[in-house]
Amino acid sequence: MCGISGVLAQRPPAELRSIARLMNDSLRHRGPDMADEWTEAGANVALAHRRLSIVDLSPEGRQPMLSASGRYVISFNGEIYNHRAMRDALVAKGHAFRGGSDTEVLLAAIEQDGVVAAVRGCAGMFAFALWDRHRRELHLVRDRLGKKPLYYGRCGGYFVFASELKAIMAVPMFDVSIERAALTSYLRHQYVPAPLSILRGIRKLPAGTHLVASIDRVGEPHPYWSIDDVARRGREAPAPADEAAALDHIDGLIRLAVRERMVADVPVGSFLSGGIDSSLVSAIMQSESREPIDTFTIGFEEAEFDESASAAAVARSIGSRHHMLRMRADDFLSMVPLLPQIYDEPFADPSAIPMFCIARHARERVTVCLSGDGGDELFGGYGRYGIASKLGRGIEMLPGWLRGTIADGIDTISPTAWDRIFRYLPRSAGNGLRGDMSGDRMHKLASLFRAASAAQLYSSMTSVHDRPERLVLDGIEKDSPPMSDLGDPLRQMMLVDISRYLPDDILVKVDRATMAVGLEARAPLLDHRLVEYSWTLPNGMLWRDGQGKRPLHALFRRYLPAELADRPKRGFSVPIEAWLRGPLRDWADGLLDPDLLAADGFLAAEPIGRMWAEHQSGARNWAFQLWTILMFQNWKRHWSDVLSAPPTRSVAA
């Protein structure tokens, strides 16, 4: 796991190396063990690398690395878990190796088969830059699911790329400006969706793609693997409906993925929340280990957010060495100012805070941690899938005019009035309706009734702001990249999440939080072989009797006592609503000052001021909507010197 960066331009090697060093220094946290840059006369390129040593700790693993023939130079971030099998196959074809790193194996595979064929043979997570010294071409490649980040773009006469935006903002001649379309999309999603970045002219390389650049031309990203294609093929050629055989096959794939991700020359542990996914991964990991593994969880003072007891019960059952970090509200609040430095794009997933805290805690004992990420996206685990399916079926039965009338009727009653209505309902009403509903949820329901299609309904359900262009001055949303219509509401929602929410929110959160402390996170459930198989399963194997993720629930009971599975799903939740009315109020008030918003010229002060006032009075709960705005303002304040500085046109060698 590392940080990569570089620059391509017709400039002297000393100047290019100087720029690459500035970029490299900004990524020190991603690779604290080693740093180097590579360029040569006439190449017009400089590659930089920061190394976190995981496999082959010797100098033979140093990067940027030259291939055996000398044709290729690579700066590689990530892990190739099947590199030993690849190595054996390459040795049989006559290749020799000087060290034990997966990077050297990848270079040999590229020399043998070419870039795309070599990458298709890799099981892992990675982003890399490869310079072809013969053809004078730069190849940028990102892994299938988008676990490892890669940004690229032009600044002046320079083409630059890096693992994180902060490295690009370190380039002296880069004219930094905010992309309003990206800001608008961010306010809808709470993250900036690929291929956009918050900076104008800089893009994210989409997951599973390959781009070629030269001095004269920058090509478009081309997919070498596509989750869209995987989903379509899985629907066209489903697996036989043998549930027992399917479960055994999934078990084998997960065990293989866990076993491969335990290989390291440094200590390896596991994140354990106590939920189905992380518990299953930890249990299988422990069954593959001769010694007790280290498991890590986080505890909260607020009982409604605390999952530590469940995690501790799982740890006792599997016999791991368990470490629990108990956090107070003040501990989390102290993290808020640090978020822009860690994420260096506006990022408003509130669970970013506990994710960083548990990563920092785990890094005290291990260098690698396995996680349970991906289970919900692969096997239909999110509760919103069931809710959206039911709503979609109900809404489709009603004509548009009637849906509009119902929505208007709901909206005529204020959220406060709805709250009073629910307070006066008997406790037994509506199968728990009194406890589950609120005025804010009723108004959200009204927006869902206005949806013209199931896809629009799901988009509205998962949007933080339904009309973000009303909040961004001159804001326009760009259309999302197209995807296949699977003709299946459940699978369509899953495809949206695994294509967008997973790589741009979940995996960003984990990558930046762990790499900020020099910790490598590995996600066995996102092994591409398991992903591909999961899309061949019939829906009935995933979701039945109101429960999703059925294969993982069944496997949980193979490895752990059934009673440990009977617990509500919480996730990494934090009490944003209360914080904004309490300890964060003054901080937020300063960032939402109408004069400040007007002077900045990005956000509309009037609707934001109205939301803030309603939240403080208790009339509405705008916690998540306000949090997206505050995280943008927080980010802009942190990077204000860079955002306002004029670009420097020369770099001292």
Q: How far is CA 291 from the centre of its chain?
A: 31
How far is it, in rounded angstroms, from Cα 544 to Cα 332? Answer: 38
Q: In the annotation, is 2 catalytic?
A: yes
- For residue 606, give both structure tokens: 């009037």
- For residue 127, give both structure tokens: 């982003």
How far is it, in rounded angstroms, from Cα 444 to Cα 425? Answer: 20
How far is it, in rounded angstroms, from Cα 544 to Cα 634? Answer: 43
Residues comprising the chain, all counted: 653
Q: Which residue has the tokens 């290729």?
A: 72
- For residue 540, give both structure tokens: 């009935």
| Catalytic residue from among 2, 122, 155, 369 | 2
How far is it, in rounded angstroms, from Cα 394 to Cα 387? Answer: 11
Ordered strands of the 294-300 beta sheet? 321-327, 294-300, 268-271, 368-370, 520-522
- For residue 306, give both structure tokens: 């605390």
Is 569 in contact with 275 (CB distance < 8 Å)? yes
- Pairing between strand 158-162 and 202-204? unpaired
- For residue 161, give both structure tokens: 């790329």
Cβ partners under 8 Å of residue 285, min gap 6: 258, 262, 270, 293, 370
**What would the 3-class secondary structure string for 490-503 be?**
HHHHHHHHHHHHHH
Q: Rounded to whole angstroms, what are the CA distances from 358 to 148, 304, 351, 376? A: 20, 19, 11, 21
Q: Is 10 exposed, middle or buried (0-12, 13-18, 19+ CB in 10 A)?
A: exposed
Positive or negative torsion for Cα 626, 629, 635, 640: negative
Burial string for 331-360 (b: 16+ CB within 10 Å, else e) reads: ebbebbeebbebbbbbbbbbbbbbbbbbbb
How far is it, in rounded angstroms, from Cα 494 to Cα 30? Answer: 31
How far is it, in rounded angstroms, from Cα 519 to Cα 268? Answer: 10
Q: How far is CA 368 from the centre of its chain?
A: 18
User: CA angle, corner 612, sides to 609 and 615, nearest 5?
Assistant: 150
How far is it, in rounded angstroms, from Cα 116 to Cα 94? Answer: 21
Phi/psi region, residue 570 (left: phi>0; alpha: psi -120 to 50; beta: rest), is alpha
DSSP character at residue 215? S
Within 397-486, residue ranges assigned H as helices are 400-412, 415-424, 433-436, 439-449, 454-462
DSSP character at residue 32? B
How far is it, in rounded angstroms, from Cα 334 to Cα 391? Answer: 40
How far is it, in rounded angstroms, from Cα 454 to Cα 503? Answer: 23
The DSSP annotation for 338-390 comes to GHHHHHSS----TTHHHHHHHHHHHTTT-SEEE--TTHHHHHT--HHHHHHHH
Helices 507-515/352-362 angle, 10° precision: 40
Q: Which residue has the tokens 């004078």?
A: 136
Enumerate the active-site residues: 2
